[in-house]
Each structure stands twice: as C-alpha cells, then as structure tokens.
Amino acid sequence: MKYEVLRAKQEAEKKAALARGQAEAKKIQAQGEADRIRIEADAQAKANKLISDSLTPELLQLRQIEVQGQFNEALKTNKDAKIFLTPGGAVPNIWIDTKEKTKQRVSTQQ
C-alpha cells in the first residue's frame, strides 16, 4: 500500500514538473514572438521616419508632375479614360482605364 502511495506521489510530481516545463517553454516562445513583433515595428517606424524626413515640398511637386505626365500619356492612347480629381496631396489624380476593363471582361467571358 505504501508503495502504491509513493508511486502515485512520484507520478504526480513527474506530471507537475512536465507541466511546469511546458508552461515555461510556452512563456519563452511567447516572449520571443513579442520581441520579434516589437523589433519589426521599431524597424518599420525607423524606415517610415527616414522616408518622412526625406520628403520635401519640391520632391512632392516633382512626383505630382511625373504622375500628371503619366495621365497625359494615358489620355493620348485612351480617350475614354475617366479622371477623378481629389483636392490637395502630392498626387491628386486617379484614373481608370475603361477600355482595359472592357477588354478584361471580354477575355474572361470567352
């Protein structure tokens, strides 16, 4: 009887030790994942700051001129394109090529 009690106690201690080990492993894994996320977020924030610091009014104006040139070229080849103007911003134009959508619809139906 004493042997059975001792054996049960040892088995319980073994299971408890195993559970503590698994809990510690999960804790370490969770901390590693949290550290990874924080490191990635810090790197992204640093990259965003560098980009933000590099933007000047002149650079934004240049990008606006470049994009407007692309719209002008698109309008030369596609007279049916629609242009939407949005107020402000470095690139205030968005265009949708209506002919291209028609071509895509026709090709997908075949």
**Residue corresponding to tokens 């000047």:** 56
Question: How confident is the model over 47-101, as pLDDT tens digits?
Answer: 999 999 988 888 888 888 888 887 777 777 777 666 665 555 545 455 555 555 5
Q: Where exactly are the structural domains of the chain?
A: 1-54, 57-110
Q: Which residue has better confidence, 14 or 60?
A: 14
Q: What is the per-residue pLDDT for 105?
A: 43
Sign of the torsion angle spanned by Cα atoms 100, 105, 106, 108 = positive
Q: What is the per-residue pLDDT for 109?
A: 41
Q: Is the distance from CB of 95 to CB of 68 less than 8 angstroms?
A: no
Among candidate residues 102, 78, 77, 82, the one with its CA nearest the CA of residue 94 = 82
Question: What pTM value is reported for the model?
Answer: 0.48
At residue 107, does pLDDT exceed 50? no
- List, in sequence order, the alpha helices (H) in the chain: 2-54, 57-77, 98-109
